[in-house]
Amino acid sequence: MNPKSPFYKIEELKQRQSMSTVVFWKYRPLDERALAELARHGMTRIELLESPEQFDMSDKRSMTHIGEAFRSYGIQVVAYHAHMTNFSNLDTEAKRKAHVDFCRKQIDTMVELGGKAWGTHACETDDTLLKCYSELARHIEGTEVVILIENFKDKGLWVEDRLSFLDKMNHPQVGMILDIGHVRDRDGVNPMTVPGGPTAVIEMCRRHLRHVHLHGFKDGLDHYPPLCEGDTIQWLELFRMLYSVGYPGDINFESKGEPKHLNTIEATAGALERIVAMDAGTRGKRDQLTPGKV
């Protein structure tokens, strides 16, 4: 890509930045200290990870409590990541309908909190999923909400498989979460770590790309803090591509925190400045940086 192409301004990236609560997953409750820590580092937009031991995304009263807690720290819930919600084992029409109803309730509580992106792991892209997602798409027509499906490294769940499902869906409000750590090629390599890879993957996603899960990748493992020591993601190429295709979604980070990784929130909060600095560095114009910001 031409290094003289225009690039994001840090202010725009910061406005669109969000962070998954996976950073606290299985280790810390979403209590006042957790919310204060996010707010202190300027992480004021959140992708909420489904955590049934703490709240019920399908229950209005439960989610009103969560929404109020976040708001009291100036934090907005922008997306739900319903990672435990899938569409397997719906072997009767009654079960399928009940499950779609459950998903509708999750989407409704998200909308009440001001969120606009609801994504699942979905599992297999079979006719049951097509029927369920079609009904959910009808539920959100006329709103700004998108419903999303994420890629995984297991066979049948690759970016390519998700895209052929989305081609079949052919609905402007049903799209792709590109998880950059879950992409694999036929040799088992993550193309997001190889020069030219992010360009090929994002070109392949085309109009279906509506949300991202960004995190560091090292030694074949994902969910590291972005730009940690040894991270092999091609961050600059990735962001140049997101810019050049006019990617419309959140700049959403999904790194894990303690006990695996320390200081993940700090590393995430500083990542965008580092990426803008990388771009400025290739132009030899370091004056594009905004000094003094954390």
Handedness of CA 231, 204, 6, 8 (dihedral sign): negative
Is the Cβ of residue 10 or residue 19 nearer to Zn ion in the bound state?
19
Among the listed residues 24, 55, 166, 179, the single contact to Zn ion using CB under 5 A: 179
Q: For the chain, how big is the Rg over CA atoms in Å?
A: 19
Structure tokens at 250: 């959140």
CB of 213 to Zn ion, least distance (A): 3
Other Cβ atoms closer than 10 A to 273? 17
Site for Zn ion in 95-154 (CB under 5 A): none
CB of 120 to Zn ion, least distance (A): 11
Structure tokens at 116: 């606009």
Q: Which region, judged by CB under 5 A, interacts with Zn ion, from 118-126, 160-168, 172-180, 255-263? A: 172-180
- The count of chain residues that interact with Zn ion, using the rule CB under 5 A, is 3
In 3-25, which positions are buried (b, 16+ CB within 10 angstroms) versus exposed (e)?
Answer: eeeebbebeebbebbbbbbbbbe
Is the Cβ of residue 139 or residue 223 nearer to Zn ion in the bound state?
223
CB of 254 to Zn ion, least distance (A): 5
Is the Cβ of residue 173 or residue 252 nearer to Zn ion in the bound state?
252
CB 237 within 8 A of CB 195: yes
Site for Zn ion in 226-265 (CB under 5 A): 254
Site for Zn ion in 191-220 (CB under 5 A): 213
Residue nearest to Zn ion (CB): 213
Q: What is the dihedral of CA 250, 175, 195, 229, to 10 degrees?
A: 40
CB of 150 to Zn ion, least distance (A): 5
Structure tokens at 277: 């600095």
Is the Cβ of residue 116 or residue 213 nearer to Zn ion in the bound state?
213
Contacts to Zn ion by CB under 5 A: 179, 213, 254
